[in-house]
C-alpha cells in the first residue's frame, strides 16, 4: 500500500492549486482524476486542424484579486485579453451586457449621456416588485421588454425551465451599464495564459511530490492507498452515494465547425437568446488566443439536462437537498470539500483558485 499525505480528488483548478501548494510544503500528494486529462473544464487542446480550442466552452480569466493573479503567474505568462460579447436580436448584433449602445440599437434611440441612459432604465424597470426569482432580478433593473429580448429565451435554453423557477442569484450578478463600455468584464486583471490553460495546470502539477492518476474513479483506489487527509472537489452527492437523492445540474454539449477563413465572427462570443435557435452561444477561440492560422474553428454550445455537471440548478428544492449533504460533509473529520461541484455553486476561475488557497491555509500542515 502506497503512503501519501493527501489524496486529492479532481485535477481541475481547485485540486491542482491545492496539490501544488501542499507539495511545495513538503507533502506527498496523489491526485486522482476520472477524466482522461487534467485541467477540468478549463482544458484546452488543438483540434484536428491545429486550432487551439476550449474543449468545454469559453473560459476567460478575469479577477480583481492580486493574490490570485500573482499566484497563477508563477505557472504562466499572460496575454492581455478583454472579452466582448454580442447578442443576436431581431437581426442585429448588439453588445451585452446591456449598455447605452444596446439601448440605442434596439430601440432607435439617441441617448448621449450616462444620465439619459439611467433615466431610460428608471422609466422602464419594474419598481414595485419583490425580487424572488431570476425574472424578478432582471425586470427590476431593465423592465419586461429587455428581459424578453435578451434574457428570457436564453435563460429557458440554458436552464431548461422558466426564469420564474430559478433563484434570483443566477441573474442578479448580470451587470447593466449606462455608459458605452462594451467589455464583458471590468476586472483589474483580464488575461489568458499565453500557452493555454492546460499548459498552466501541467506546470502546477509538475512538482515531484505530486502523482497524478487519470481515467480513475477515486472510489476504486481509495482502499488501495494510504493517506492522512482527502480533499474532494467532485459532486457532493456522489461522495455520499446519492443517499438523499441526486443534486441536479445543467450540462452542455458542443459542436465545432471549421471555416476556411482567418476569422468569421466580429467578436469571440455571440449569444442567441431566441428560443428557436437550439444553441445558446457560439465561440471563436482565435479571437482570444491570437493564434495565427489560415482557418478558424467556431464552437456551438447546446445546454442539456444530462452529462458532465456544469451549472448547479439553484432551485429551492435543490438548495435544500444540498444543505442536507453539506450537514453530513461538515462531520467528515479527515475530508475537506472545495470547488464548484462540492460547494454546489457556480464559481468563476478566480473564485475557484481563491477558495482553494483559503482551504490550504486552514489545512493541517
User: What distance separates the 2 farthest-apart alpha carbons in the chain?
Assistant: 72
- Dihedral of alpha carbons 114, 116, 117, 121, sign: positive
Tens digit of pLDDT for each residue in 148-171? 999 999 999 999 999 999 999 889
The pLDDT score that the predictor gives to residue 316 is 86
Q: Torsion over CA of 64, 122, 93 and 251, rounded to 10 degrees? A: 60
- Detail the DSSP E strand segments found in the chain: 2-9, 29-32, 44-46, 52-54, 61-63, 78-80, 85-89, 92-96, 189-193, 210-213, 225-232, 249-259, 269-271, 281-284, 296-304, 311-312, 335-337
Q: What percent of the chain has pLDDT over 70?
A: 100
Which sequence spans correspond to the domains of the chain?
A: 2-38+205-247+313-362, 99-172
The pLDDT score that the predictor gives to residue 243 is 98
Q: What percent of the chain has pLDDT over 90?
A: 96
The pLDDT score that the predictor gives to residue 155 is 96
Class of domain 2-38+205-247+313-362: alpha beta
Spatial distance between the Cα atoms of 185 and 16, rounded to a whole number of angstroms: 25
Tens digit of pLDDT for each residue in 279-326? 999 999 999 999 999 999 999 999 999 999 999 998 889 999 999 999
Closest C-alpha among 301, 302, 298 to residue 257: 298
CA atoms within 13 A on the CB side of 127: 5
The pLDDT score that the predictor gives to residue 44 is 98
The pLDDT score that the predictor gives to residue 141 is 96
Tell me which residues of the chain have a pLDDT lower than 70. Answer: 365
Instruction: Give start and end residues of each alpha helix (H) in the chain.
Output: 13-23, 66-72, 100-107, 114-124, 134-146, 153-159, 169-172, 197-204, 236-239, 286-289, 316-329, 340-343, 349-362
Spatial distance between the Cα atoms of 90 and 149, rounded to a whole number of angstroms: 9
Spatial distance between the Cα atoms of 249 and 307, rounded to a whole number of angstroms: 9
Quote the distance between the C-alpha of residue 54 and its chain's center. 12
Beta bridge partners of 225: 2
Residues 284/52, Cβ–Cβ less than 8 Å:
no
Spatial distance between the Cα atoms of 83 and 190, rounded to a whole number of angstroms: 8
The pLDDT score that the predictor gives to residue 246 is 97
The pLDDT score that the predictor gives to residue 305 is 95
Long-range pairs of 280-284 with CB within 8 A, sequence gap ≥ 24: 280/154, 280/157, 280/158, 281/58, 283/54, 283/57, 283/58
The pLDDT score that the predictor gives to residue 267 is 98
Tens digit of pLDDT for each residue in 137-147? 999 999 999 99
Amino acid at each position: 500500500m502506497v503512503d501519501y499525505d493527501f489524496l486529492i480528488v479532481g485535477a481541475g483548478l481547485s485540486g491542482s492549486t491545492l496539490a501544488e501548494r501542499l507539495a511545495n510544503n513538503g507533502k506527498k500528494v496523489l491526485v486522482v482524476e476520472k477524466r482522461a486529462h487534467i485541467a477540468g473544464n478549463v482544458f484546452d487542446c488543438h483540434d484536428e486542424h491545429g486550432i487551439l480550442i476550449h474543449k468545454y466552452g469559453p473560459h476567460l480569466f478575469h479577477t480583481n484579486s492580486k493574490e490570485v493573479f500573482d499566484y497563477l503567474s508563477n505557472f504562466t505568462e499572460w496575454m492581455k485579453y478583454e472579452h466582448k460579447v454580442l447578442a443576436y436580436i431581431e437581426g442585429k448584433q448588439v453588445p451585452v451586457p446591456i449598455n447605452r449602445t444596446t439601448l440605442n440599437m434596439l430601440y432607435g434611440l439617441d441617448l448621449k449621456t450616462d444620465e439619459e441612459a439611467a433615466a431610460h432604465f428608471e422609466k422602464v424597470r419594474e419598481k414595485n416588485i419583490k425580487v424572488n426569482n431570476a425574472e424578478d432580478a432582471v425586470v427590476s433593473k431593465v423592465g419586461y421588454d429587455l428581459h424578453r429580448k435578451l434574457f428570457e429565451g436564453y435563460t429557458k435554453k440554458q436552464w431548461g425551465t422558466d426564469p420564474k423557477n430559478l433563484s434570483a442569484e443566477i441573474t442578479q450578478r448580470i451587470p447593466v451599464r449606462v455608459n458605452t463600455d462594451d467589455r464583458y468584464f471590468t476586472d483589474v486583471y483580464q488575461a489568458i495564459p499565453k500557452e493555454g490553460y492546460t499548459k498552466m495546470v501541467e506546470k502546477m502539477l509538475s512538482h515531484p511530490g505530486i502523482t497524478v492518476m487519470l481515467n480513475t474513479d477515486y472510489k476504486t483506489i481509495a482502499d488501495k492507498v494510504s493517506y492522512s487527509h482527502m480533499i474532494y472537489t467532485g459532486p457532493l452527492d456522489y461522495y455520499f452515494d446519492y443517499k438523499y437523492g441526486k443534486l441536479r445540474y445543467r450540462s452542455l454539449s458542443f459542436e465545432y465547425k471549421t471555416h476556411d477563413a482567418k476569422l468569421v465572427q466580429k467578436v469571440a462570443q455571440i449569444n442567441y437568446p431566441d428560443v428557436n435557435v437550439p444553441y445558446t452561444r457560439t465561440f471563436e477561440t482565435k479571437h482570444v488566443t491570437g493564434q495565427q492560422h489560415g482557418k478558424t474553428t467556431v464552437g456551438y454550445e447546446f445546454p442539456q439536462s444530462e452529462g458532465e455537471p456544469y451549472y448547479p440548478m439553484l432551485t429551492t428544492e435543490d438548495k435544500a437537498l444540498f444543505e442536507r449533504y453539506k450537514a453530513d460533509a461538515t462531520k467528515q473529520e479527515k475530508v475537506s470539500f472545495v470547488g464548484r461541484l462540492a460547494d454546489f455553486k457556480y464559481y468563476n476561475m478566480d473564485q475557484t483558485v481563491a477558495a482553494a488557497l483559503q482551504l490550504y491555509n486552514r489545512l493541517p500542515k
